[in-house]
Every structure is written in structure tokens, then in C-alpha cells.
Amino acid sequence: MANDKTASLPVALVVDDEKEVADAYALRLRGICDVETVYDGPSALEVISEKTVDLTLLDRHMPGMSGDEVLGELDNHGYDGRVVMVTAIDPGFDVLDMPFDDYLCKPVDREDIREVIGHQSTILGYELLGEYFSVESKRQVIAAEVDADRRADHGEYQRIATRARQLERRARRLIDESPELLAEFDAVDREGR
Amino acid sequence: MNGQFERAPVGIIEVDPTGTVRAVNERADALLDIGSAGVTDETVGSLFPMSVEASVPRAFETPPEERLSVEEFYPDLDSWFEVTIVPADDSVFIYVRDVTDRHRLEKELTQREADITRLTVINELISDVLAALVKASTREEIAETICARLGETELYDFAWLGERELGTDEIVVRAASGTTGRTLDSIESALEAGEGIPEAGVVEAGQPEIVQPVGANDSVPRSVRRAAFADGLQSMLAVPLTHGSTVYGVVGLYTSEQDAFGSRERAGFGTLGEMAGFAVNATRHRSVLLSDTVVELRLRITDRSDPLVAAAAEHDASLSVDGLVPAAETPLCYLTVDGAEPGDVVESLAAAEMIESTRVVDGTGGSVEVGLGGDSLLGRLLTRGGTVTSAIFDSSGGTVTVDISPEEDLRRLADGVTRGFDAEVAAKRERDEEIVTPQAFRDRLDDQLTERQESALRTAYLADYFESPRESTAEEVAEALDITGPTLLHHLRAGQRKLLAEFFDLHEDHPRSQGQ
């Protein structure tokens, strides 16, 4: 389904055992995310291990593997994106010490879902951008020390360079301001010091 | 599209092989909410509502060659359609049927089946716990059995069992099982801080209570709600462990299921709570019989509203309790009066409240019999499961020592006394109860009975003198022993007295166990 138009959007995964609900969320996110939709926990974990997902919209109460169980497994699958739980009730708590990043209460309306997903995209985008700046600085330091023709054999350099490219790509798809921020970062002349 | 197609009861869209719309019939127009004007020449992809699978637009990515049938959900129309794409000559026909009702019915059916399965599983679980309760022989085992069986099923996340701490109103966690998470920690903190939780209310009220959703219920402290929400717990059922009007504890059952508990669960688990209460009550009796440790309480009372305290003070006498007969409706108390005339003491007691009857048993020995009312100090101790081992009243008040099994409701006993009287628990200790084997009992009795007493008892017993009616008269037994009738009766009575004193465990220095 993904085409060139959606390739630059954040990748969202919608998980809900009720197909009608999951599909409705997926359509509501069209245009702001590249959406994957699955209807049970194990399928969600399968998607997570196959591709880089930025945001997961997770139904808490699913038969078999519940949203909380999926949440517990995400770490084991190397997931570093954000998780928005969809719950049946709204107790009105802040999420400071909750195991997820935010929550939405059913029924979820179109504006809320887009707003929450947009908000989480921005948070993740800045997180990844921060990490990119730190990794990219290291890469540049090594680049200054290692000759260009020897870099291909330099394991550490290759690892850092790959990571920097991934981070940059994700930050770009997550936050609109990333080009400007990246340009400012690049404008600093580190090697000259 | 001809007239037949136009009014067909199924939605029909005619497109060319590239997906450009040629015609849409009435039914398709209505089903897909197209608003038919000017749709021809549009692509089927822009005309068809969106679905996650987007099967229809994808079928036209290249001209379809084979018949294709799919069932999809269209969120914007909140409908399920069965869509069949049939290529024919130079046209492709798309047939659309609304199958939403069938999907909703299937869903409802699945839900019903799940409900039935769930109820069956709950019933099995309950009978499972009941069967396990029969085998539990101590209060701890009962608590652990219940928690383990309820907390480790797929149905529930965790179960905990709380009981009142001895001598206080505080509830403490006795057992827990399952994924207790942050919620049980916060329950314990709330209990320590004295915050009301639904389980505590259930101990007071003695009725099961359902709390759902846990995260948004004001009867739950905010800290517990917060933890429950973080742990994903939605529903809670609190079940009291009751026997008659006594509440022995409470089971809190938590689950991430939404609306997990209804009237059926409430009734089923309510019965479980009653059975568990019954089992706890049974172990209390069993533990009195089998336990080799007892808790000994020493109570001091100066409150003259108790008739024995009042009588001792009034006559400046010492009243010591020799024994109590708790089984009767009015417990009988045998006292030795020292330092006053038994007749005078009896006279005062007869006039007092909480005294049902009085009688001088032995004027010179100072022995009196008193029928105690249930509200008197000793009456209260007896009705609350205590065994009075000694009680002495004099002009300064009374000192009563009472034994109680460690599993007995110590708080209920102490409260029963201190609420009725100005009295206090002066000391509490646990001690090992001496277990008397039948052999030791015989040996001890043997030491005390004289040879003649023993042969008199043995002969009388074997000659069926103790049967009713007697098979042998006293004279016949006496003759067999070559002694006179009165001598036989003297030996028999002395022997019986020692036998009974030993059996009722009266101390050897006790006036009643002395004599030949």
C-alpha cells in the first residue's frame, strides 16, 4: 500500500480486536500517518519486529493477548516508538508514571486521535533528533580522524553512520521543523575546532 | 445498463476494464451513498468508499481478468459489504450486497457463546475452590487455597485475602496470588494509612460488592485507582467470608476484564464466601481440639457492674472459680467462698442482675453454684469461645485467666469484655498446651486410685453395675469383693471423683479433687 506519497509519513500501527474499530482508526489517521492495521496482539508484535514503527495505537482490552501484555512484550521486540493506549474508561489521570505514553478513551473521535498521534509524533521526533545530534557528532569526529578510504572497514564508524542515517530519516518524517533544525546543526563547524 | 439491472435488489456498478465508471444502479447508489449525479467517467477508486484493504481500487490496478469476491468493512458507512467483481467481454460488473446484519448477528452470537463459556468456567472454578476448602485444615490454608485458585486462573488477574488484625479494626493482607502488580502495593499502603477501601466496607457490611470500573470509582482511594489503571485492572469484586453474623475476612478479586462481574458472579462468589466462612469456623473448633498452643489472656476487672466483682467487694471476700459448665443455656459456675458466709454471698448474688440462679452447695466448705447470665463477664468469655482456666474475685477486683485458640477471634473476645465492662487485658501470651496421651492419662489416674478403689470400679464396671438398668446390684458387687455395701459405695464414689477430676483437669490441690 505504501507509495512514495506516504513513505515520508510517520509509521503508525493500529491494534484492536474489533475490526470495525481498528479500521475506523486507520482511516482517521490517513494523510498524517502511514498506517498498518492488525487485529490481535501477536500480529502486532510481528509487525513491530519486521519494520520500524513510530507510533502504536493499542486497544487495551483484547481477548487472548491484552494490550497490557503486548505493551510488556514491546521492549523485547526492540520497540522504541510511542504507545497510545485505547481504554474503555477515562479516570482523568496524567500519564507520568503509567507504562504507556498517553491514552485515549472509547469512543475515540477523529480530532482526538489525530491530535494525540500528532503530539506523540512530535515528542518522538525531538527525542530521535536529539539522539541523532549526539550520534552524528560522534560520526563527524571519527570522520575527521579516519581517512575516507579506510572508513568502509571501520566497524564502529559504519555502525554509527547507519544509526545516524536511520535517526535522521525518522526525525524527518516525524517533525515538520526537522529540515531547519538539521540545517542549523550542520551549519556548526565542528571539525574546525 | 438496462432497466432490469437498474432496479435490481443488489448494487451493480458497470465499469470499463480500467475502472472508469459507466453506470451505477439505484441500489449501489443507495448502499455506497454516492449521490449518483455525474459519477460516470470517474474512476471506481474515487467513487467507492474507503476501506483498510482497499480491495476494489487495487483490483483495477491492472484490468481484472478473474472473478473476485471480498467482504470488507467500510468505516465511513459503518457497513460490511460483500463485493464481487465480474469481468465480462468489454465491461466489468461490480456487485455490492450489504451484509452488515449478518456480521452483527455473528458478533452477538460469539459474544453469547463467550458468556456461556465464561459462566461454565466460573462455576467450575467455584466448585473447585469448594472442593479444595474441604481439605484445608487451618485458617492459613483456607486463605491460601482461595487466593491461589482464584488468582491463578485466566479469568482474574489477582486475588488477595484480608483479615482484621488482632485487637484492632485494621485489615491486613493474609494471602495473595496472581499478578498483584502495583495495585496490591497501593492497597497495602492505603490500609496502613487507614484509608477506606471497598474491601474494608465489605468486612463491615458482610455483603459482596462489585466495583467497576475500578479506575473511575470514588469509593476507591485515588492511589489505588491510579495503580489499578496503570495495571490495566477494570473490575473488582469483594466477597466477605461469613458465618452467621461473623465476618472472618474478605477476598478482593481483580480483573482486567471490563464489566466482569454481574449478579450471577456476585451470587456465586457470595456462596463461596459463606462456605469459606463456614470452613474457617470449622477450623476454629478443630483447632481448639487439636492445637497444641493456646493464647492465654489475663484480664483485670474492677467494674462492679459485674455481680461477682460486686459481691466480693461487698463482703470483702475471696471468690474463686472452681469450674464452669459452659454447655447449658445458663452457664453454671462453681465458686469457693473464702472470708465470708456463703449464704450471705449467695443472698447478694441472688438479688443481682446477670445472675440467673444461686445455690449453696456446701455451707462449711464454702462451695456455691451460680447460674450466670450471658452478659456477665464470665458469660461473655464463654459465649465467645474462651476457656476460663482460673478466676478469682476479691475486694480489689477480679483476675480472670482465659485460654483461647490462636485462630480464635481474639479481638472479638477482648472487645466483648472491654465494651461491656471497665476491664483490661493485663497480659497476653502464647503457651504450649500439654498434650495428654491416653496412656499418660491412665498412668496418672493409676497413681491416684487406691488398689481397693480400682478393684471396686473395675468389678462394678465388669458386673454391669453402671448399666441402666443395673445388671448387678451394689450388694451383689460388694459380695463379690467380700466387702459391705456401704464400703463399696464409699470406694466407688472416691474412685469416680478422682476419675472425673482427672478428666476435667482440675488441679490436684483443688478442694474438689482432694479426699480419699
Return the C-alpha cell found at B336.
469457693
Mean pLDDT of chain B: 87
Model pLDDT for residues A122-153, shown as the tens digit of each residue = 999 999 999 999 999 999 888 888 888 888 88
Does position B511 have pLDDT exceeding 70, yes or no? Answer: no
Q: Do A91 and B216 touch (CB under 8 A)?
A: yes
Q: Do B230 and A90 touch (CB under 8 A)?
A: no
Is the CB of residue B225 less than 8 Å away from at least one CB of chain A? Answer: yes
Mean pLDDT over B304-313 rounds to 92
Question: Between B184 and A180, where is the model more confident?
Answer: B184
Mean pLDDT of B40-58: 90
Whether A20 and B75 lie within 8 Å, measured CB to CB: yes
Q: What is the 3-state secondary structure (H, E, C) of B139-167?
A: HHHHHHHHHHHHHCCCCCCEEEEEEECCC
Residues A150-180, buried b or exposed e (16+ Cβ, 10 A)? Answer: eeeebeebeebbebbeebbebbbbbbeebee
Task: Give the pLDDT of residue A19.
Answer: 94
A90 touching B (Cβ < 8 Å) = yes
Among the partner residues A19, A88, A90, nearest to B73 by beta-carbon distance? A19
A17 band by pLDDT with thresholds 50, 70 and 90:
very high
Q: In CATH terms, is domain A4-120 a member of 3.90.228.20?
A: no
Distance from CA of A75 to the nearest CA of B (A): 17
Q: What tens digit of pLDDT does each residue of B272-281 get?
A: 999 999 888 8
Q: Do A27 and B216 touch (CB under 8 A)?
A: no
Cβ-Cβ contacts under 8 Å for B224 (sequence gap 6 or more):
B183, B186, B187, B190, B197, B214
CB pairs under 8 A between A and B: 56
Model confidence pLDDT, tens digit, residues B378-427: 988 887 778 888 999 999 999 999 988 766 677 778 877 887 888 888 88
Q: Which of B401-405, B434-438, B495-499 has the lowest mean pLDDT?
A: B434-438
Contact B197, B187 (CB under 8 A): yes
| Whether B51 contacts chain A with CB within 8 A | yes
Mean pLDDT, range B213-220, rounded to an integer: 88
Question: For chain A, what are the domain ranges?
Answer: 4-120, 125-186
Domains and CATH numbers, chain B: 2-98 (3.30.450.20), 109-288 (3.30.450.40), 293-432 (no CATH), 438-503 (1.10.10)
Of B75, B114, B213, the CB nearest to A23: B75
The confidence score (pLDDT) of residue A3 equals 41
H-only helix segments in B221-299:
222-231, 263-290
Residue B36 pLDDT level (bands cut at 50, 70, 90): low
Q: Is B426 on the interface with A (CB under 8 A)?
A: no
Q: Give the C-alpha separation, B170 to B164, whole Å.
A: 5
Grid coordinates representing B49? 468508499
Which chain B residue has its CA at the smallest distance from A97's CA?
Answer: B230
Count Cβ atoms below 10 Å from residue B44 Cβ, excluding itself: 22
Q: Which residues of A touch B55 (CB under 8 A)?
A: none
Nearest to B448 by CA among B363, B404, B508, B374: B508
**Which pLDDT belongs to residue B250?**
96
Q: Is the pLDDT of residue A6 over 50?
A: no
Tell me the sheet residues that pair with A102.
Answer: A84
pLDDT in tens, B223-258: 999 999 989 899 999 999 998 778 889 999 999 888
**Interface with chain A: mutation pick from B51, B102, B222, B229, highest number of A CBs within 10 Å:** B229
- Say whether B84 sits in a helix, a strand or coil: strand
- The model's confidence at residue B167, banded by pLDDT at 50, 70 and 90, is low
Render pLDDT for B331-351 as a digit per residue (tens, 0 to 9).
888 899 999 999 999 999 999
Provide the shortest C-alpha distance from residue A100 to chain B (in Å): 9
Q: Which of B73, B215, B230 sits opposite A89 (nearest CB)?
A: B215
Mutate to test the interface with A, among B52, B113, B231 (most CBs of A within 10 A): B52
pLDDT value at residue B285: 65
* Chain B residue closest in CA terms to A37: B52
B50:A30 CB<8 A: yes
CA distance A87 to A100: 12
What's the rounded mean pLDDT across residues A163-170? 93
B52 CA to chain A: closest CA distance, Å?
Answer: 6
pLDDT digits (tens, 9 = 90+) for B437-474: 677 778 878 888 888 898 899 889 888 898 888 888 88
ipTM of this complex prediction, to 2 decimal places: 0.84
CB B401 within 8 A of CB B390: yes
Looking at the partner chain, which of B75, B76, B258 has a beta carbon nearest the beta carbon of A88?
Answer: B258
Q: What is the DSSP letter of B261?
A: -
| CA A13/CA A47 separation, integer angstroms | 8
Q: What is the pLDDT of residue A191?
A: 58
Looking at residue A150, its pLDDT comes to 84
- Does residue B226 belong to the interface with chain A, where contact is any CB pair within 8 Å? yes
From the candidates A68, A102, A110, which should be mutated to test the interface with B, based on the most B CB atoms within 10 A?
A68
Candidates B331, B299, B305, B314; CA nearest to B400 is B299
Q: Kindly state the percentage of chain B with pLDDT values over 90.
A: 49
Q: Which of A63, A91, A97 comes nearest B215 by C-beta?
A: A91
Average pLDDT over residues B112-137: 90
- Helix residue ranges per DSSP H, A12-109: 19-28, 41-50, 67-74
The Cα–Cα gap between A177 and A174 comes to 9
Instruction: Say if residue B505's pLDDT is above 80.
Output: no
CA-based nearest residue in chain A for residue B111:
A63
Residue of A nearest to B57 (CA): A1
What span, in angstroms and rounded, lies between the C-alpha atoms of A155 and A99? 36
The answer to whether residues A117 and A125 touch, using CB atoms and an 8 Å cutoff, is no
CB contacts, 8 Å: B50 with chain A: 27, 30
| List of chain A residues whose C-beta atoms are within 8 Å of the C-beta of residue B256 | 60-61, 66, 68
